[in-house]
Structure 1
Amino acid sequence: MENWNITADFILLGLFNYTGAHQFLFVLVLIIAFTSLVGNALMLLLILLDPHLHRPMYILLSQLSLMDLMLISTIVPKMAIDYLTCRKFISPAGCGFQIFFLTLGGGECFLLAAMSYDRYVAICHPLRYPVLMSWKLCLSMILGSWFLGAADGLMQAAATLNFSFCNTHEIDHFFCEAPTLVRLACADTSVFEYVMYICCVLMLLIPISLILISYSLILAAVLQMRSNEARKKAFATCSSHLSVVGLFFGAAIFTYMRPKSYRSANYNKVVSVYYTIFTPVLNPLIYSLRNSEVKGALQKCMNRCVAYE
């Protein structure tokens, strides 16, 4: 088979066909993506402007919103332009860009683990919170999450685009993803796929283990509380984070830890829509609707806007 030069463009087959039902789904996805952009941007703005939210818990949450914003901005505009213009080409550089920022989202795994540690300290050691969850440690956790996600994204993008691709250069997806792109390579990719699989498993299992340890200690501490009010407050504090953890890791495990024989293009697309579009819109909704401090900051911001008018 004829090899394609690295400068040759790829073809994204996309998510939707040009039928009435698919047009409705396309508009629905755009509405959800726009809601996600507004929700995460608003969450960032509230945390930035309200001094009461300048605490490690909310600083970590702001980074989660920032990662979700980058993910949506990388995937959805390209998908929408391709659908509206019927031009489904993407350059290798653009493909590498999408792989990098998509994999950068893997930093969310470690960010969620850091947030679980924050909840553990707040519930189990509230008096020592300023020491055990210092600003220096918080900043180190944030930088570590970004670094690990960026390092993994850079390695996957560089290694994937280093392969020679055959004349079937159609990607049966609506964005470039390393596992999908590797299937088009002419060379033997078994070693790379094995290493990529191990990296994905480690980036999922290590944070999950840390989260399980944190919440096991939290559960043990909550069961020892004598006050029902204290128990309710502790569960309310953790429920939002647990909801986000379940959404994120459920989709990630289903996507990256399934055997290859169980993967199909259509199922991969559905799951990809879930974790690139639907999950980012749920994160700010979960934290805003279930958090009184965030709702209070939003109310103050709305009151200021009304006063200025």
Structure 2
Amino acid sequence: MNDPVRRFKAEFFKALGHPARLALLDHLRNGEKSVNELQALLRCDQSTVSQQLSVLRNRGIVEGRKEGTTVCYRVRDPAIFRLLDDAREIFNNHSFIPSPVITGFTSGIALIIAIGQLDNVLGVTTPKAENALEKLWHYVTNPVVPDWHALALAGIVMATMILLPRVTTRIPGSLVGIMIASPVAFFAGWDVAVIGDIPRTILLDSRLTLESIPWEHLSDLLPAAVSIAALGAIESLLCGTVGATIPAIRATNSTVARSATRAVKSVRCCAPRGVGTWNRTRRQR
């Protein structure tokens, strides 16, 4: 019981035994921050933040640096983040939804989306199919001649999404790929399908209204509607579970990338269809 290593471990984990302290460490992953910055991130009063930082500092987990009247804190040993990530992994291993279920479901969705968008990537038009397997079988039994313009544009986006993260993760590769591929198609005069015009209003002429709902068939439509809503809820739950497994820095960049991509969707009126295909598949994964 007098083992100094065990005593250190006991005091060390005791210092970590508070959600606010763990949140502080997560916010310090990207580098040092001032007390005011940490207070804004935690949405706590300054006395609470200072108290929790004092506990971490006394245990040698963080250290402060005074700059004028401001005190900035940083983690002394980045190895603690590996410990926190291991704790997250243990939590995920004991979560309600098994990891194989999450992987299988999200990978299946990504595969279905990819198959459904092959026409846009290849720049061809094939007959509609009832399901993804039928669509894939049609490509196998009826080989098509792809449009090299569409393939080139899809290749630009895919190459950008693969290579750009090796340079920086602060800029979403999908957005940069679209910004490169769209002017290439425009200035080269390539005849490729585009997403469409920007809607002039959110109230479209073909929108669903109460008068257009076939109320006499409601009993037939309700089970299908409930099933679709349930599948959407399950997909959102699984995607949220997957997102919870991403380390803080990657989760932040991923969130920025998705937000930026969705923000520019409304202005991609000239973006080739195949450009966004691989991006959507990647996001599902």
What TM-score, normalized to structure 2?
0.28
More helix by share: 1
Structure with the greater alpha carbon radius of gyration: 2
What TM-score, normalized to structure 1?
0.27
